Amino acid sequence: MVEISSKKDQEAVLKRLRAAKAVDFAEPVPNHWLTAAGPDPLRNRQWGLPAIRWFDKTRPDAADVHVAVLDSGIDEGHADLKDAIEDYHRGPNQARDFLGHGTHVSGIIAATFNNVVGITGVANCRLHCWKIFLDPPAGSTKQKFDFDTYSQGLAAILDSDIKVVNLSIGGELHSQTEQILFNELAASGVIVVAAMGNEFEEGNPIEYPAAYDGVTAIGAIDEVDRRASFSNTGTHIALMAPGANVLSTVPRQKASLASSVDYDSWSGTSMATPHVAGCAALLYAAKPRSKASADAIVKRLKTKARKVPAMKGKSTTKEYGHGVVDIAAAL
């Protein structure tokens, strides 16, 4: 082996050596690299990250951005989540996430990056979790909504540092109380993202909180950029995001909605919504909380969304909204 000082000199030396009758062949020393999956071993199974172009641009540090998740709870001791949790409000309930839904949603947003464990979240933000479903009977998937904890959580966000709220929940009843809360949150600079719902094949109802004024409604695409068959449509839809077979965190103890422990792949607009919440957190980094900032971020996510073939050249449709969230373009 011979070390050559420059590429130009290397090419000249190779040319002379290859011309020599005493030399069988001459070539540059080949380069190789490790083929492990990387610092987070399951990252290559997260098809949602390349779908939102997460790898295509350097992302800002969102460590000071606070994001609220109002859901079924969270596994506080999960290796991929414990360092991201700022606080956990669970009212009269046990700490355990019996359903697993909130843990799955939280992992999509903020699973710890480069900790040599599991998956990678969209943003390295701080999580504030509210458990808004009462503990179900053992082994049950029953979901009993706790409106008191939910409404108190939304009200508490007004007087906090929280900039983004993820609501992977649905319902068909319009509430004036909720609309007032969302109006106040929007006026204070909080971005609220909510799931469109999964009942397209059961009548495609309008669901709340996604359909409230001041809320950004999110639908789900599959791995080939088509609307997931279950994803609701409507004129209020804003964006699409990965929502089919999405790998994320689930509780370390068996949860009633999970088929395994630690990590599991789920489908739903519930999974699409936290992709957008994480993108909003990245765009909100180093910006003060204000209505102007929040409005500008939501507008940018919409205008920079990636169009898909099914939109047929239109800027927005009731099936896809403005398109698929594209964090590289938005940044």
Instruction: Report, as residue numbers or ranges, the catalytic residues.
Output: 71, 101, 270
Cα-based torsion angle of the residue sequence 145, 163, 97, 229 in order, rounded to the nearest 10 degrees = 70
> Which phi and psi (to 5°) does residue 245 adopt?
50, 50
At 92, the amino acid letter reads P
Separation between Cα atoms, residue 68 and residue 106, nearest integer Å: 9
Separation between Cα atoms, residue 236 and residue 234, nearest integer Å: 5
Separation between Cα atoms, residue 181 and residue 231, nearest integer Å: 26
Give the relative orientation of helices 176-187 and 291-303 as an angle to the nearest 10 degrees. Answer: 100
CA distances from 301 to 118, 133, 191, 298 (A): 28, 30, 12, 5
> DSSP assignment of 56-72, as one string?
GSPPPP-TT-EEEEEES
How does strand 191-195 pair with strand 85-89?
unpaired
